[in-house]
Structure 1
Amino acid sequence: MELPQDPIERFAALFEQAKKAIPVDPNAMIVASVGADGRPSARVVLLKEFDARGFVFFTNLTSRKGQELLGQPFAALVFYWAPLERQIRIEGRVERVSEAESDAYFQSRARGSQVGAWASLQSQPLPSRELLEERVETVTHQYEGGQVPRPAHWAGLRVVPDRIEFWHARPSRLHERLVYERDNGPWRTTLLYP
């Protein structure tokens, strides 16, 4: 069996299939992180870009997710595309994207999302929904008629993969599992038992 040499190219081809098969958020992925206490946590975020350098999403760095990923800079990502009977698991270290990349993506967001990045104290206790709405109104007035700048606490994170596993459902639960791994060199491939 001829194994594809580049997992990023393989991911790109499957992602194109997912975009056709999944009408809402085919870029949804689970991001798992670990806190300083060793306790894992996971949540769904949206992949915004990927290339040979890694997989990028954007977040509030003061959130639980942001603090965990900056404190323990390793993450696991999971894509599950049920219509394709595919799962992709990605593991690697986390790094911040450049300020220019964060600025460019922030300016491409809807204005309401830009305002929300300022108004939300993400992951902090919220005494009432009304308080959040007041904060949104304050920020909206503050930047009325002008551009909303990116908050310093809002940025992109890139997961630089060193392990990518492609899972494909097969009959009798004899699934296909192909892992790509690397240590500062070329990708190595290994088939796994299901």
Structure 2
Amino acid sequence: MSSVLVQKVWSTLWSAGSISRFRLHVSHVSHQVNHVASEEQRIYDEPYVIFQNWLIAAQREAPQVRPRLACMATVDKSGEPVTRLTSIEEVSANGITFFTTLGSRQAGEISANPHVSLHFNWAPLMRSVRIAGSAHQLTEEQALDQFRRYPRHVQMCITHGPRYAAADWQSRSGLFARIVQRLNTWLGKHPEEIQMPPNWGGYLLTPSLFEFGMLSGQKAGRTRVRFRRCLEMPRGTRVGNIQAERQDWVYDSCEEN
């Protein structure tokens, strides 16, 4: 990667506070410093960390766009792309989790073809993120753990549908219902636990591509920074072979007018 391109990647992403020690790495690559910096000094954040930071910023600055809602693309049996809106849950080094009804069309397409992509569009921030990879079903224990984290009205919606959940919410939001709830709490009585439906489950998307898009103004061009997972080498073996540090990602940047 040229020093000019490295500088573009740095200037583009540093405003989000995402690549924490990138400047030292750039200096090391551009000027080929003779002394070897410590491994801790040379490590930069992986793309999922950049995505986490952008997601946090979007939730803080533009919650009205529902930042966790993504356009998911799958492939049907005839090879045609299919899109729908999906809400994600956890973002970690392992991947991105989302949940759905296992008997749904979405689940069937993922089971037949695990290649999936997500597209997040945060227009007020002039940012977008595209993530592509393979999705694999989570265990029943993992799905149950997430189900227990949902508020009661969300559990009711998953189990019985939105109309039943709305009726249950209204029945519990009245003055008399709140008094009964206070008394039950004081007496140590808890609401009946809602059982997770047997057809409810989740998936883990393991990314192979992150693409970050940014607009700096109405007349400015669009900048894209793309991270692709390097599959030729096992994770952790790249140091000493090419100038890409410990992470198994290769990255580039481009500008579109």
TM-score, reference length from structure 2: 0.62
Quote the Cα distance in structure 2 between the aligned partners of 1:119 and 1:113. 10
1:188 aligns with 2:255: no
Quote the Cα distance in structure 2 between the aligned partners of 1:91 and 1:173. 27
Any idea what the Cα deviations from partners look like across 1:122-144, whole Å, max 9, x if unmatched?
xxxxxxx9xx86xx99xxxxxxx
Residue pairs, 1:40-119, within 5 angstroms = 40-119=81-160
List structure 1 runs of 4+ shifted beyond 4 angstroms. none
In structure 1, stretches of 5+ residues that fail to align are: 121-128, 138-144
Any idea what the Cα deviations from partners look like across 1:89-124, whole Å, max 9, x if unmatched?
00000011232221011112233433333445xxxx
Q: 1:140 — aligned with what?
A: none
Quote the Cα distance in structure 2 between the aligned partners of 1:181 and 1:152. 36
In structure 2, stretches of 5+ residues that fail to align are: 1-6, 11-18, 20-43, 169-190, 236-247
Q: 2:39 — aligned with what?
A: none
Q: What RMSD over aligned residues (CA atoms) do the two structures have, in Å? A: 2.3
Identity of aligned residues (%): 25
Of 207, 221, 227, 1:174 maps to: 221
* Inter-CA distance 65–173: structure 2 relative to 1 (3 Å threshold): farther
Any idea what the Cα deviations from partners look like across 1:60-107, whole Å, max 9, x if unmatched?
011111111111111000011111100000000001123222101111
Quick check: which one's strand share is greater?
Answer: 1
Quote the Cα distance in structure 2 between the aligned partners of 1:165 and 1:82. 16
Of 4, 25, 30, 2:71 maps to: 30
Q: Which secondary structure does the structure 2 equivalent of 1:62 belong to?
A: coil
- Tell which structure's C-alpha radius of gyration is larger: 2
Quote the Cα distance in structure 2 between the aligned partners of 1:61 and 1:84. 34
1:12 aligns with 2:52: yes
Q: Which secondary structure does the structure 1 equivalent of 2:144 belong to?
A: helix
